[in-house]
Chains A and B, each alone.
Chain A
């Protein structure tokens, strides 16, 4: 019987072990989530802050985000999507390529691999500042190099133009993400037994065939989790963009995370800030569910 199993001694013991983690999750994750959700359905801003009872306004805050004069919500969602897709696509391809490279042991391979990981270990704020200097109009290394090579005549105004500033923040984020992708994919690669490649060679498969017909299918679960984790990390990036552009110029690099912060702590419009954060949360929640599915499938395998 199932019910007896739930209350068996062993099971009870197991629940005791899980309880602290559950409590922890409720207090530090559940409570803020619920609080934030309630906040987004109330009207809490600088004018209503001291009212003892906050007015319940339903979806008003969500509607206003899209309908108030000069509403930039659609633009911000677009920015966030562009930032995420742009970052992940390049991170993934380069990370994959590097993983394939480092799978082959060569002199100094572990040293170089270690050096590449530094990008992921540096505090993001520092990376942001570094890239702010790298993309400076005058004296920034990218402009200096391009000018010296004769690729451009006039310095590019990297962080001053909408499109180039987006390229700049994506570039910085790619740099941070490559080691993460590389390490996870490399770990996946080591699970593919060498014998499979050997027999493929005997059957006459070339390198490209081996890559797409053996490697990719065999490490597909690892690849999927790299992509979804990458999505989750990238979609909620805040510090990098805040340091590099503060969402500027004129909201060209404003993401959901920076907009939520700006709403809450610059404009004191706490409810709309919470509403933006919830939109961010819903997207990540869906991707998160997708991720746990993949992990489960992976374990079944």
Chain B
């Protein structure tokens, strides 16, 4: 009994200690918070007197050293280019990104700018994360220089919520040495040629082809070119065309020409397999080029268009930079204006391993003279956007699930397509 009493008293003391600790620290921090807020408003009203600046924060999931350096240079350049705004960034891991934003929306902490995967933009616009900046960018005279697909992904119902930050698409990488060893001289251009080539290259622990078939947005991203190439669409998969695409990939997986393990690979994993010489061909984006250069400098590879069925196709990737609704909207748009300048855009996209979303910048010889980069630019013409639709994530899950079902041979292409269509039709 005594022991119990002592222990409960101890427990209470600990609990109270923790509580008072909380209160104490709150007291300490609240005056400074208030001060911060005050200086913030002051900066806005008096327009940067004696180092008082509007502070804006960007959230990104950039994690490779190259991406981080690119962003750091971009921010340093902006901060020294003017006096009234100070921009800084905060890293949020990709896996937590959507969660953090959703939590922020329900009353938590939110940034002023978000750099995010373009198909997610519409969902967040619809959930009220981003603010309407149509009027703030009305005077921009270079808006029509932006590629249509990326630009439309920053809009919803005719209003602008941000601008494209980077744009890219996926094409077919191939290992030249493996092609030579197998006596293949021509790169495949049609699905039939592609299948034949992949089968020839398969064996001895090597799979002819690999892509990301994971049950997330990445899987959908890599699957869409096949669906679109056959003539199907993201919201119409149960027709003859959709079934044809699913059947083609299932046959490839059955023969081992497509690595079956791809259902657990994200695009980074696919690239690792390609670098390790376990894949002769892979579907991937230009953002892998810096990685390939750094980690596999001796790899002899080339890039060609993804093979066509009814037509050439690819999927449009890249990030948008969206302006979060709030009092710092104008300052945030200033940063967008800086990012959109041709010279700045060129530098940052070179460092990032992606393409400028502006036509005039993309015409720079840096891209057009490099055969690999030029292939990606050519592929970009055929790239289809994802959405924009606030319900995109639901379409995406239906599609990547169907892909996994056929790759694991859990369902026939017909059933998988029918089931996916039922889910798609149920999206209101």
- What residues make up the interface of A, taking CB atoms closer than 8 Å to B? 14, 16-18, 20-21, 23-24, 46-47, 49-50, 68-70, 137-138, 157, 159-162, 245-251, 262, 264-270
Contacts and interface: CB of A to CB of B under 8 A. Distances in A.
A269 B19 CA distance: 35
A69 B428 contact: no
Interface string B394-428: 10011001001100101000000001101101101
B189 interface: no
A268 B102 contact: yes
A49 B425 CA distance: 21
Given A69-B425, A265-B99, A49 B12 contact: no
A16 B263 CA distance: 56
B260 interface: yes
B98 interface: yes
B128 A250 contact: no
B264 A17 contact: no
Given A21-B12, A47-B391, A157 B426 contact: no
Given A17-B9, A18-B12, A267-B393, A70 B423 contact: yes
B98 A266 contact: yes
B261 interface: yes
Given A162-B408, A248-B404, A46 B127 contact: yes
Contact of B12 (A17, A68, A266): A17
B16 A46 contact: no
B214 interface: yes
5 contacts: A20-B16, A21-B15, A246-B216, A249-B410, A268-B127
Contacts of B134: none
Contact of A138 (B15, B205, B390, B404): B205
B123 interface: yes
A46 B19 contact: no
Q: Which 7 A-B pairs have the closest CB atoms?
A: A17-B12, A69-B422, A49-B127, A50-B128, A20-B15, A265-B99, A250-B404
B39 interface: no
B423 A69 contact: yes
Contacts of A248: 214-215, 263-264, 404
Given A46-B127, A249-B410, A268-B127, 18 more contacts: A24-B19, A49-B127, A69-B419, A69-B422, A69-B426, A137-B261, A159-B264, A160-B261, A160-B263, A160-B264, A246-B216, A250-B401, A250-B404, A250-B408, A250-B410, A266-B216, A267-B393, A268-B393
Interface in B246-262: 260-261
A246 B8 contact: no
Contacts of B391: 46-47
B344 interface: no
Contacts of B423: 68-70
A258 to B, nearest CB: 11
A162 to B, nearest CB: 7
B405 A70 contact: no
Nearest to B264: A159
Nearest to B219: A248
Nearest to A270: B102
Given A21-B12, A249-B263, A264-B102, A160 B215 contact: no
A24 B401 contact: no
Interface string B262-281: 01100000000000001000
Nearest to A269: B394
Interface in B75-91: none
B393 A49 contact: no
A46 B105 CA distance: 12
Given A49-B105, A50-B127, A265 B15 contact: no
A50 to B, nearest CB: 4
B126 interface: yes
Nearest to A264: B102
B297 to A, nearest CB: 24
Contacts of B8: 14, 17
A262 B102 CA distance: 13
A267 B12 contact: no
Contacts of A268: 102, 123, 127, 393
Contacts of B12: 16-18, 20-21
B408 A70 contact: no
Nearest to A250: B404
B207 to A, nearest CB: 10
Contact of A265 (B9, B98, B264, B428): B98
A250 B393 CA distance: 16
Contacts of A160: 260-261, 263-264, 408
Interface string B326-339: 00000000000000
Given A246-B214, A249-B410, A266 B15 contact: no
Contacts of A162: 408, 410
A248 B215 CA distance: 7
A250 to B, nearest CB: 5
Given A24-B19, A246-B214, A250-B410, A49 B126 contact: yes
Contacts of B16: 20
A270 B393 CA distance: 13
Contacts of B102: 264-265, 268, 270
Contacts of A159: 261, 264
Contacts of B398: 70
Nearest to B266: A246
Contact of A46 (B126, B214, B425): B126
Given A20-B12, A70-B422, A50 B216 contact: no
A60 to B, nearest CB: 13
Contact of A24 (B15, B123, B127): B15
A246 B205 CA distance: 26
Contacts of B260: 157, 160
Interface in B93-145: 98-99, 102, 105, 123, 126-128
A159 B16 CA distance: 48
A267 B99 CA distance: 11
A161 B408 contact: yes
Contacts of B99: 264-265
A50 B264 contact: no
A261 to B, nearest CB: 8
A246 B391 CA distance: 21
A177 B261 CA distance: 28
A268 B127 CA distance: 9
B322 to A, nearest CB: 15
B256 to A, nearest CB: 11
